[in-house]
Amino acid sequence: MSGSGGPSRDKTRCGSCCTLLVSLGFIVLIYWAIFQPHQIRASVEYAELSNLTVSNASSSSSSSAAAVAVSYHVSVNLTLYNPSKRVNIYYDTLDAELRYRGAVLSPAATATAAASPVEFYQRRKSAQAVRIEFDGKGVAFPGDDDVGKQLEGEVKAGVKLGLELNVDARVRYVFGSIKIRQKPTVWCAFSIPVPSTPGGMGVSFSDDRCWVKYR
């Protein structure tokens, strides 16, 4: 007799837990619906290119093309804007890559990328400037690689180089006591003039809007 109410009590507890979880999920969904449309915006304000050299490695066989090696220093001023009226954002990490025609110019083995500040707190309706620098030393493209040939040709022609900035971020949206983690990716396309003299600097003022996608 004493244990006759056991299964009923278990079902009641289980039902209460399910109701609580559904209620919490509904509350979080409401909060998320409030600020979800207000995703971060980004733009490239300024970029500079210096220490640019492009060279061909000697080829041991006349039938094989020489490899192309490029060294460079690129600085990009990226502006991140939080358009939300209610939500603050913590930026925990910023991992950046520099690309040319889809090919990565900043592999870890031959280049370094640094963002300043690396992490920061951004209040609602505010902008934050982030300086990202890439320092490449002898980044190599195989001799039969079209990207290397195109890069070499554009540098010799002295035209503007079309570059791409890819930034993977880890952020926390903060609304009151609720924090939701997100992983936005910022992709920017911009052009920098090739320096007119060896050791010179190419500068671009663009204010180009970037594309932001949440993973």
Residue 10, domain member (yes or no): no
Residue 140, domain member (yes or no): yes
Whole-model pTM: value is 0.78
What domain range is 140 assigned to?
38-214
Residue 89, domain member (yes or no): yes
Residue 199, domain member (yes or no): yes
pLDDT digits (tens, 9 = 90+) for 145-191: 788 888 888 988 888 999 999 999 999 998 878 788 999 999 999 99
Residue 22, domain member (yes or no): no
Residue 12, domain member (yes or no): no
Q: What is the pLDDT along the chain (215 residues), one digit of tens a residue?
A: 445 555 666 566 676 777 777 777 776 676 666 655 478 999 999 999 999 988 876 544 444 567 888 899 999 999 999 998 888 999 999 999 999 988 888 765 566 678 889 899 999 999 999 999 999 888 887 766 788 888 888 988 888 999 999 999 999 998 878 788 999 999 999 999 998 887 778 888 877 789 999 98
What does the alpha-carbon distance between residue 133 and residue 175 come to, in Å, rounded to a whole number? Answer: 32
**Domains of the chain: total:** 1
Residue 165, domain member (yes or no): yes
Residue 13, domain member (yes or no): no
pLDDT in the model for residue 107 = 67
